[in-house]
Structure 1
Amino acid sequence: MRRLFPVTDETPARTSGKDGGSGSAALTADREWSLAELAAAYAYPAKRPWLRGNMVSSLDGAAEHDGRSQPISGATDMRIFGTLRALADVVVVGAETVRQEGYRPARARAEFAAARAAAGQGPAPAVAVVTAGLDLDFSLPLFTSPLVPTLILTGAAAAPEKVAAAEKAGARVVVAGEGAGVDPERAVRALAGLGHHRLLTEGGPRLLGQLIAAGLLDELCLTLSPTLVAGGAPRVAGGPSVAVPHRFELVSLLEEDGFLFSRYRRP
């Protein structure tokens, strides 16, 4: 992996050029990064709560292929995916993505155990599923055997029998909306109230679009995959349009095997 932006005197693996100075190519030297270096590169800022999105897109703007993101992902993308999870208090995800991607509970990572303990975090992040209808299979491991109880974010009008089924499976139901739907701002507030300040959303596109429209997204980690899929796959964000485009600033840009790993932050 090599860092393309920012390039500073502190950039890892900097070496000298033939004239004794710093060679420009050396500033972006390609080498394997440790998990600790990835964690430092993606550390959450001190501001709390902080909502980070993590998505992957093909060159032609597709967020998935045949309903799943895995075909446009890659080994390093999944390594960063795991690192971002290891840094988070909670992973916020839409119900459709849970169904399509076959979500499982977040696992404990021995490599991050000491850092999580020092930060006052549990062994793994909780998973918070945003759903109006609670149309989920509560017999799945995501609900029956997580290290941290899975959260269900739903509206006050959710069907009582489905709420009971979720709670029977071991999930914790959190009301984050007056009607059947979920209010994004109230959901973030509720998670923060539970002590989850480092928030990570992995979509899907509809949920990410709702968070963007509500002005809640602080940061987007976007992987640009060197793939083309064509077809009618959704973009990384869908749902309601914003009145004025939100301008974000580039924080960092990494590259490996043709994949670009960008990090954009709200100014």
Structure 2
Amino acid sequence: MIATLDGAGTGADGRSGSINGPADHRVFDVLRSLADVVVVGAGTVRAEGYGDLSVRRDLRAARAARGQHADPELAVVTRSGSVPDELLDAAVPPLVVTAADGDAVAALRRRIGADRVVAVGTGDVDLGGALAALAARGLPRVLTEGGPRLLGDLLAADLVDDLCLTTAPLVVGGPARRVVDRGGWLAPPAAARCAHLLHGDGVLLGRWLLDGPRSGALD
């Protein structure tokens, strides 16, 4: 995730891409190269224009040495089952993570194949069940790139081990969302320890270890 000095998770265009730079892109590329699957909320997929995921050529040898596929899978989390057509119609569609009783589950299975639909939870997506299902598919190394609502839900469910947060040297003002957007307080707050804090091109690149367990309750 990335935030400005005044806490905005995006620029005025509503996209995180407008507040990042080369240093953040380097970290972004490395994190993707470590993941078996990148889990992203459907709103962020639409806002950021997600497509096929690819790993930089110079990072592929390390993936192969770890026994990973050449590129990570994309998993889109959606309560409604709504995913952009261009992704569903791709040669390799994303994994779609949705509630088992959702209205769109049957149509998604017909369109992209039952093996590409991860349907867990009643009334809402069971994120813990989804991560377990992904691990059972051979995808245990999970990276989430947001958005803020998905990150909030994962934090509330005690499902985040590391938080990699870039601080961009910008002040944007405006009504932008923070990197965690949950509507209620995390109770108790998620405690974090700094694993490292790097500096490059005026950008702070932090990795924080979250010390669970916590209740995940919201006030």
Task: Please name the residue that 1:233 is paired with.
Answer: 176
User: Using a 3 Å threshold, how does the CA distance of structure 1 residues 171 and 232 change in structure 2: closer, same or farther?
Assistant: farther
Counterpart-to-counterpart distance in 1, 2:156 and 2:46: 24
Q: Percent identity?
A: 47
User: Using a 3 Å threshold, how does the CA distance of structure 1 residues 165 and 63 change in structure 2: closer, same or farther?
Assistant: farther
Task: Please name the residue that 2:9 is paired with.
Answer: 63
CA RMSD of aligned residues (A): 1.8
Task: Please name the residue that 1:262 is paired with.
Answer: 206
Task: Please name the residue that 2:216 is paired with.
Answer: none
Counterpart-to-counterpart distance in 1, 2:23 and 2:112: 36
Deviation digits for residues 203-231 of structure 1, max 9, x if unmatched?
00000000000111000000000001111
TM-score, L = length of structure 1: 0.73
Query: Bigger shift: 72-81 or 108-117?
Result: 108-117
Query: Bigger shift: 158-167 or 117-126?
Result: 158-167
Counterpart-to-counterpart distance in 2, 1:238 and 1:77: 21
- Kindly indicate whether residue 122 of structure 2 is the aligned counterpart of residue 178 of structure 1: yes
Counterpart-to-counterpart distance in 2, 1:165 and 1:138: 14
Secondary structure of 2:143's match? strand
**Number of corresponding residues:** 208
Unaligned runs of 5+ in 2: 212-219
Q: CA deviation at 1:163?
A: 1.3
User: Using a 3 Å threshold, how does the CA distance of structure 1 residues 77 and 213 change in structure 2: closer, same or farther?
Assistant: same
Task: Please name the residue that 1:32 is paired with.
Answer: none
Give runs of aligned pairs for residues 216-227 of structure 1, distance below 5 A.
216-227=159-170
Give runs of aligned pairs for residues 241-252 of structure 1, distance below 5 A.
241-252=185-196
Aligned counterpart in structure 2 of residue 107 of structure 1, from 47, 54, 61: 54
Paired residue type of 2:49: G
Task: Please name the residue that 2:146 is paired with.
Answer: 203
Deviation digits for residues 30-65 of structure 1, max 9, x if unmatched?
xxxxxxxxxxxxxxxxxxxxxxxxx00000000012
Q: Is the 8 A contact 2:81 2:105 kept in 1?
A: no
Aligned counterpart in structure 2 of residue 88 of structure 1, from 35, 40, 65: 35
Task: Please name the residue that 2:133 is paired with.
Answer: 190
Paired residue type of 2:170: T
